[in-house]
Amino acid sequence: MLPFDQPALILAPMEGVTDAPMREVQGASGAFTFAVSEFLRVSQTVPPKGVFLRHVPELKHGCRTANGLPVAVQILGGHAGRMAEAAVVAHKAGAAAIDINFGCPAPTVNRHDGGATLLKYPERIREIVRAVRDALPASVPVSAKLRLGWDSINAIHLNAEMATEGGAAWITIHARTRVAGYAPPVHWGSIGQVRERSTIPVVANGDIWTIEDFRQCREETGCRHFMIGRGALANPRLPMQIAFELGLTSIEPNVETVDWPAELMQLVEAMRRFPENSANRILCRVKQWLSMAAKFGDFGGFDAVKRASGLDELFERLEASVRVSRV
């Protein structure tokens, strides 16, 4: 799925954020090479096929969004055997690529032997990746998402080596430790050190908010493959800017003010195609996006819309806020 001979821009998995409708919206521009699904947890039992199909509905359509963006299926867990079984179920459901989450910093996940807690046990990373790799056809790539370590940025060297020995086709590295969470600073240089020694592609991830951040990340890491998540929601123009700089598109990016009503309507329309999404759920997701844009980007109208009780009211307030900002 990852084009080894050319650069790539990947949409990050963010629990409760980059679900199927959001993946479709983010894929509309054509900036992303592929997306990774939110993780599906593999705990005491292996999720059946129906769970995978509900969690990643793109599996029913060649593991692509409605606009053609490929989606890799991410699984999370600490039991190598069950992770391998889950990968097989996912593949039979339609998964064309499997990503293993060794980076989730959520305390609940970590307390139950999942995500970043595995960073403390390098040999288990190799064991899990190898079990998943061996359970699947060679044509199905297996990748691993890592952080720099649990509490030390130097742990990434051994953990990356273990993932590679296990058979990972590529690794994605978030440039912080689990203890650091999402607090500054971000250590892009450490990703660069891994890339220099790695025999497989390395995807750089973490704190790419602006095109200037991207350029600095590329300089410090030397990477050709990048993953962004929160930055794409904070500034919907950023993916196209990065894609243009990577040579993934020849279309000059639009860097003008974001047309938030149009962006949000895409999400509303995408969510309405899934019957489980109630009007209130859609409203909450729209507010969630605007909240992220206000917190991490330059959207200044969140106070005007956050108490809207319905979509019509929210869009009315948003349009009014946009008009005021243009005066």
Q: Which residues are catalytic?
A: 104
208-106-281-89 Cα dihedral, nearest 10 degrees: 100
Q: Are 150 and 177 in contact (CB under 8 A)?
A: yes
Enter the tokens of residue 6.
Answer: 């050319």
Enter the tokens of residue 9.
Answer: 């821009």
C-alpha span between 67 and 51 (Å, rounded): 23
C-alpha span between 115 and 121 (Å, rounded): 12
DSSP of 208-241: --SHHHHHHHHHHH--SEEEESHHHHH-TTHHHH
C-alpha span between 35 and 85 (Å, rounded): 23
Q: Are 170 and 200 in contact (CB under 8 A)?
A: yes
Q: Provide Rg for the chain, Cα atoms.
A: 19
Enter the tokens of residue 30.
Answer: 């054509």
AA letter at 294: A
Residue written as token pair 């409605």: 66
C-alpha span between 29 and 241 (Å, rounded): 11
C-alpha span between 1 and 58 (Å, rounded): 15
The H or E element that residue 100 is part of is: strand 98-102
* Strand 34-36 relative to strand 71-76, pairing: parallel
Handedness of CA 63, 65, 70, 76 (dihedral sign): negative
C-alpha span between 292 and 30 (Å, rounded): 22
